[in-house]
Amino acid sequence: MSEYNFVAVDLGATSGRVILATFQGSNVAMEEICRFSSPIIQLRGHFYWDLPAIYSSVVKGLKLVAQRGVEPTSIGIDTWGVDVALFGKDGELLRLPYSYRDPHTVGAPERFFEDMPREELYERTGIQVMNFNTLFQLDTLRYNDCSALAAADKILFIPDALAYMLTGEMVTEYTIASTSQMIDPRTRKWDEEILHRIGLRTEQFGRQVMPGEKIGVLTEEIQRLTGLGAVDVVAVASHDTGSAVATVPAKDMATAYLSSGTWSLMGVVSPEPIITKHSAQLNFTNEGGIGGTIRVLKNICGMWLLERCRAEWGEMGYGELIAEAQKAEPFRSLINPDAECFANPQSMTEAIKEYCELSGQPAPESVGQFVRCIFESLALRYRAVVAMLEELTGVAVEQLYVIGGGAKNDMLNQFSANAIGVPVVTGASEATALGNVAVQAVKVGELGGYEEVMESFSSLLESKYYEPCDALVWAQGWEKFANLNK
């Protein structure tokens, strides 16, 4: 019986993992080899990713794989979107990459719209306007006379930068590039007019690859450092949401998905981009998926709210937090999770208190009241976004499929079913890693096509079903939430 081993390097905005997936016939096992932080360095008023530290952690993970006596079939890398690293003509990293949480792009969209109207930009890209989009990051660097950008020979997205550090090959993977607001979603190629407006050329990006294409093999240096051989590094859907959504069993747009983590990303899988005046008004985005699909979605601030509160409370466990929330009064305090004040405040608890006070509500006082406020507000925001999706697609949403870490959050999933009024079904909490591995596995013909590979993961899923309830109570909660946002 043939055995295949795939390594998924899965990097989130707070932590990363190296995961080993082993296929033996119809049996699949996944194991987390190591976990590490995705460190952000605060320096001179800016926030940077410590890319060398992340690279070192990835190399350490590959070394641990080798120490198991395993020779991987291939390696795939996925990360968060939009952020880029700049490299000089000598191939050296020119500076630490800015984090999308950095405030240097505040006001950047409005400045860009003086050169290209917002409507034209959206028509060209179909990407929601968020000040941290790659386009606005690069335009801000140009506006600020960034010496690293002026010297940059290549601009690589974070997963592509790590792939380069492992293989020496510079590429741009399509799904990660689609988050940049510089790709035409119809042609899947760079929009050269947009690049021209910010003084860039297509040659400054690596050769474009699609999910499933080989990037290269581990360099001799990496082979020495890790003890592995000349293992293939394969382009997956390297935007982490692209990999996660690849696991959603959506036959049509009646199934909406929610990738629930630091961000909540809600949308549908579409064969074509949806770019209309209405989608522009609602600020929906069209990002690339596997098989040429488009992820029509909206970003919602997710568990970032709670994680930042937890940091102030001493990292209380989720079980304890939910137990406290269950004791709290329903709908006592509600917030708009996407309000700008929650983007990166010094204190999340103080930001929530201030929002409630300014909106005429009692501010949360106990841990349980904070948690309930966050969960109820997220669920009600999900209801608002589902209504927007139905307007855009003309298709009634009949089910919400939840993937990512939030798939394990029973309270939030039940609240979501109650708020939206449709069943919530959970998929893989490790959806990103599964999608990463699946793209690699399809390259091995013996393992079958994408559907067959995903079917082999069924034993790893712990799906749950949440039926809507308490409709009258949640209707009252919705009325209060809707009035907050008028």
Strand-strand pairing, 74-78 and 84-87? unpaired
Instruction: Record the tokens describing residue 480, joined without a space.
Output: 């209060």
Given the structure tokens 């948690």, which residue do they identify? 371
Cα separations (Å) of 483 from 116, 249, 477? 34, 35, 10
Distance of CA 94 to the CA centre of its chain: 25
Compute the radius of gyration of the chain from its Cα atoms: 22
Alpha helices in 296-430 (DSSP H): 304-313, 318-327, 348-358, 367-393, 410-420
In DSSP notation, 136-192 reads HHHHHHHHTT-HHHHH-SEEEEHHHHHHHHHHS--EEEHHHHTTSS-EETTTTEE-H
Counting every residue, how long is the chain? 486
CA-to-CA distance for 140 and 133, rounded, in angstroms? Answer: 11
Helix (H/G/I), strand (E/B), else coil: 458: helix
CA-to-CA distance for 155 and 208, rounded, in angstroms? Answer: 12
Decide if 232 contacts 257 (C-beta within 8 A): no
CA-to-CA distance for 52 and 96, rounded, in angstroms? Answer: 8
Active site residue 160: no
Q: Is the dihedral of CA 54, 246, 269, 163 positive or negative?
A: positive
The DSSP 8-state label assigned to residue 429 in this structure reads: T
Instruction: Record the tokens describing residue 71, joined without a space.
Output: 């020779």
CA-to-CA distance for 466 and 427, rounded, in angstroms? Answer: 12
Query: What's phi and psi for 285, nearest 5 deg?
Result: -120, 155
CA-to-CA distance for 297 and 259, rounded, in angstroms? Answer: 10
Closest-CA residue to 386 (of 252, 306, 284): 284
Give the active site residue among 240, 252, 338, 470: 240
CA-to-CA distance for 192 and 36, rounded, in angstroms? Answer: 38
CA-to-CA distance for 195 and 409, rounded, in angstroms? Answer: 42
Decide if 260 contacts 404 (C-beta within 8 A): yes
The residues that bridge with 190 in the sheet, in sequence order, are: 183
Q: Which amino acid is at 204?
A: Q
* Residues with catalytic function: 240
